[in-house]
C-alpha cells in the first residue's frame, strides 16, 4: 500500500501572501530604479552647482573646498554609494541655496502640495461619479442622443486641456477680469479654489466618461435585469447593484489620476505662486541646487509608487479574483 504524505499548507500556498510578496518586490525594484534615476538625473544638469550656490565671484579655492566637502570630487560610484547610505539614515543632504536640511525644506513645503492635490482628487471624484452615473442612466439604450453628444464632447475637450492652461484661464477670468478670487499665494480658504479647480477639471472629465461607460456596461448585465424583474426601486438598483460594480475601473483610473495630479502640481503651483514642492523644484533646478532637486524628485516618485500600491491593494480587496489570478 502506497501512502502519500500530505504536505501541510505553508505561507507559500497562501494567495494573499504571494500577492503581498509580488507587490513588495515590485515596489522595492521601483524604489531602487527611482533612487538611481534621481542620482543620475542630477549629474545630467549642466553647470556647477557649487559655483551656482556660491556665486560667480567666489574664489576658486573656496569652490574647490566646498566641492571636496560635499564629496563631488569623488568617483561617481563612490558618490552613488554615499548617496544611498545617507538615504538609509534619513539624511537627504543640505540645500546649497538656503543651507537648510533638505528634509526640513520638504517638510515645510509638502503639506501645501498635498492639500491642493488631495482636495482636487476629492472634488474630481465627488463631481465625476455622480455625473457619470446620471449620464449613464439618462442615455442608456440609445436614449437622448443630443445629451450624450454634448456630454462626451464637453468632457473630451476639458480632458485634453493641460492643467496649466486651465490655471491661466482661471486666473484671467476670476482673478484679473472679475477680481473675485486671489491668484497668488496661500493666504486663506479662497486661495485654494483656483488651484484646486485647475487640477481637478481634467481628471473629473476623464473619470466622468469612464464612470458612464462602466455604468452602461453594468446596466446591461444579467443581475441588473434580474433586479428589475423583482421590481426593486430604481435608486436601489443603481446605487446598490450597479454602482459598486462600475467603480472598479473608476478606482483604478482614479489612482492613476491622483498620481498625475501630484505631478500636475509642478506647473499649477508656479502659475499661482503656491508655496509647495512644485514651485520649490522649479526654483531649485534654476539654482542648480542638486540636493534639493534630488530630494523633491524622490518625494514625488515615492508618492506615485505609494498611490499605485494603495490602488492595487484596494482593487484586490474589492475583487479578490485579481489577487488569485496574479498569484
Q: What angle do CA 271, 273, 278 make, to 5 degrees?
A: 80
- 94 within 8 A of 286, measured Cβ to Cβ: no
Name the pLDDT band for 191 (thresholds 50, 70, 90): confident
CATH topology (fold) of 111-290: MetI-like fold (1.10.3720)
User: Given this model, what pLDDT does residue 152 score?
Assistant: 85
Residue 134: band (very low, low, confident or very high) from pLDDT cuts 50, 70, 90: confident
Instruction: Locate all alpha helices (DSSP H) within the chain, ordered by sequence.
Output: 15-42, 49-54, 60-70, 76-88, 102-139, 145-160, 163-170, 193-219, 222-229, 234-236, 243-271, 277-286, 290-318, 320-326
Most confident of 10-19, 54-63, 285-294: 285-294
Q: Report the largest interatomic distance among the alpha carbons of the chain, rounded to a whole angstrom.
A: 92
**Rounded Cα–Cα distance for residues 314 and 308 (Å):** 10
For 94, the 3-state DSSP assignment is: strand
Residues near 257 by Cβ (< 8 Å), separated by ≥ 6?
121, 124, 203, 206, 207
- pLDDT tops 60 at residue 66: yes
Mean pLDDT confidence for 210-227 = 72
Q: What DSSP designation does 97 have?
A: T
Number of Cα atoms under 13 Å in the Cβ half of residue 277 = 28
How far apart CA 69 and CA 88 sit, in angstroms, is: 20
**322: pLDDT confidence band, cut at 50, 70 and 90?**
low
* Mean pLDDT, rounded, for 141-151: 80
- Select the highest-mean-pLDDT range: 74-78, 149-153, 243-247, 321-325: 149-153
Query: What CA–CA distance (Å, rounded) separates 253 from 128?
Result: 12
Which of 158-172, 190-204, 285-299 bottoms out in mean pLDDT, i.e. has the lowest?
285-299
Confidence of residue 56 (pLDDT cuts 50, 70, 90): low
For range 203-230, the mean pLDDT: 75
pLDDT tops 70 at residue 71: no
Length of the chain: 327
Residues of the chain with CATH 1.10.3720.10: 111-290
Quickly state the pLDDT bin for 1 (edges 50, 70, 90). very low
pTM of the model: 0.73
Tell me how far CA of residue 262 lies from CA of 247, 274, 278, 294, 309, in angstroms. Answer: 22, 14, 9, 17, 15
Average pLDDT over residues 113-119: 87
Nearest CA-CA partner of 281 in 69, 113, 87: 113
HSE at residue 326, side-chain half, CA atoms within 13 A, is 18
Examine the pLDDT at 323 and tell me if it is beyond 70.
no
Rounded CA gap, 301 and 211, in Å?
28
Cell of 133: 452615473
Amino acid at each position: 500500500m502506497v501512502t502519500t504524505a500530505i504536505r501541510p499548507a505553508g505561507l507559500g500556498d497562501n494567495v494573499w501572501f504571494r500577492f503581498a510578496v509580488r507587490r513588495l518586490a515590485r515596489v522595492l525594484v521601483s524604489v531602487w530604479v527611482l533612487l538611481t534615476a534621481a542620482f543620475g538625473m542630477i549629474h545630467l544638469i549642466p553647470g556647477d552647482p557649487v559655483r551656482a550656490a556660491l556665486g560667480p565671484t567666489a574664489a576658486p579655492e573656496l569652490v574647490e573646498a566646498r566641492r571636496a566637502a560635499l564629496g563631488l570630487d569623488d568617483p561617481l560610484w563612490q558618490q552613488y554609494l554615499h548617496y544611498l547610505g545617507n538615504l538609509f539614515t534619513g539624511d537627504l543632504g543640505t540645500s546649497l541655496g538656503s543651507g537648510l536640511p533638505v528634509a526640513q525644506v520638504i517638510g515645510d513645503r509638502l503639506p501645501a502640495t498635498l492639500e491642493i492635490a488631495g482636495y482636487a482628487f476629492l472634488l474630481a471624484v465627488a463631481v465625476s461619479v455622480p455625473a457619470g452615473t446620471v449620464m449613464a442612466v439618462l442615455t442608456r439604450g440609445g436614449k437622448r442622443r443630443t445629451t450624450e453628444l454634448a456630454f462626451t464632447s464637453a468632457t473630451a475637450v476639458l480632458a485634453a486641456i493641460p492643467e496649466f492652461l486651465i490655471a491661466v484661464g482661471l486666473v484671467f477670468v476670476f482673478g484679473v477680469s472679475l477680481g473675485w478670487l486671489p491668484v497668488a499665494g496661500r493666504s486663506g480658504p479662497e486661495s485654494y479654489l483656483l488651484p484646486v479647480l485647475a487640477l481637478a477639471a481634467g481628471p473629473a472629465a476623464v473619470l466622468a466618461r469612464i464612470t458612464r461607460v462602466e455604468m452602461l456596461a453594468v446596466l446591461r448585465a444579467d443581475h441588473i435585469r434580474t433586479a428589475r424583474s423583482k421590481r426593486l426601486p430604481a435608486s436601489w438598483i443603481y446605487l446598490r447593484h450597479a454602482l459598486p460594480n462600475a467603480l472598479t475601473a473608476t478606482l483604478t483610473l482614479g489612482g492613476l489620476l491622483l498620481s498625475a495630479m501630484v505631478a500636475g502640481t509642478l506647473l499649477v503651483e508656479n502659475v499661482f505662486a503656491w508655496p509647495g514642492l512644485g514651485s520649490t523644484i522649479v526654483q531649485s533646478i534654476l539654482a542648480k541646487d542638486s540636493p534639493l532637486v534630488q530630494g523633491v524628485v524622490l518625494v514625488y516618485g515615492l508618492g506615485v509608487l505609494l498611490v499605485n500600491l494603495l490602488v492595487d491593494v484596494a482593487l484586490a480587496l474589492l475583487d479578490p479574483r485579481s489577487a488569485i489570478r496574479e498569484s
